Amino acid sequence: MLFGHGSAGISLSLIVGSAPSAKDLVDLRLDGVCRISVNNAWRIRNDFHYSIFPKDFPAERRPGPDWPATIVTNAGYIPAMNAAGGIIFCGATMAFAAGYWAAHTLATPVVAFYASDMVYDGTPTHFYGTGSPDPLRDNVSLRSLEAKSVRLFAWALARGVLLVNSSRAPTSRLVFPRLSLGAARIWPGQSHLADAWRPLLEEAARIRAVEATASFDALREDIGRLADRPENLAFIEAVDRAWLATIPLVAEGWAEFRAD
């Protein structure tokens, strides 16, 4: 592993997705930043530290054997998602998997997302042309991307990790605070994170306690079978609604934090 908990001098991890704006990073100097590519994004530059993709990612779309980055697949990121409550509640798509993995494993003070807005209304939809919008597929764990987004934000925040969206896209399914990549690189510190977002952290703890009462195993990976039982869907939808209700607390905490 190139970076890990408390790596000296590393304060920012950057998760790069495959939106067209990924091309913004082709020639950008990113020294001192832990760089993580998701799925196809490794193709935009040759100096990523980690490349993360699922075990069923097609072989022809993976980096070659001489690729210098550390490869992270299911065996790497599923333990992080399980520690956070299981893939059903975390959301079974790679943007969220990468977020949980980075917050859990790297634990840099800031984790920034770029080109990971999960909006596909442009042409092209991806930096390499037209791709399949994985987060929009019919999946029991992806019924609300915004609910899964705020859950991830709160889970990282409870561990002292601030998630931000550094994308310049006008719309996003991520509900993280917006912070430019330049500002994220010189972020001064996290001393008042818990204080600023205390209402969100308290509500998040309550919702996670509700999740723990599920009648199904939230750590299972064969999540498609959960859709066969209406009561499972009803429970997941109720949890999503609870998370959605906390979204205003993200902006409120951000305003208080910036005012400090």
Q: What pLDDT score was predicted for residue 230?
A: 85
Find out whether 36 and 63 touch, Cβ atoms under 8 Å: no
pLDDT, residue 128, reads 65
pLDDT in tens, the chain (260 residues): 445 444 456 789 999 998 888 999 999 999 999 999 999 999 999 999 999 999 999 999 899 888 889 999 999 999 999 999 999 999 999 999 999 999 999 999 999 999 999 888 876 767 666 667 777 787 888 999 999 999 999 999 999 999 999 998 889 999 999 999 999 988 766 667 888 999 999 999 999 999 999 988 888 756 666 766 888 889 999 999 999 999 999 999 999 888 76
Structure tokens at 231: 């009561």
Q: Is 104 helix (H, G, I), strand (E, B) or coil?
A: helix
Contacts of 240 (CB under 8 A, 6+ apart): 143, 144, 147, 148
CA distance 152 to 125: 24
pLDDT at 84: 96
pTM: 0.93
pLDDT of amino acid 1: 44
Contact 94, 149 (CB under 8 A): no
DSSP state letter for 30: -
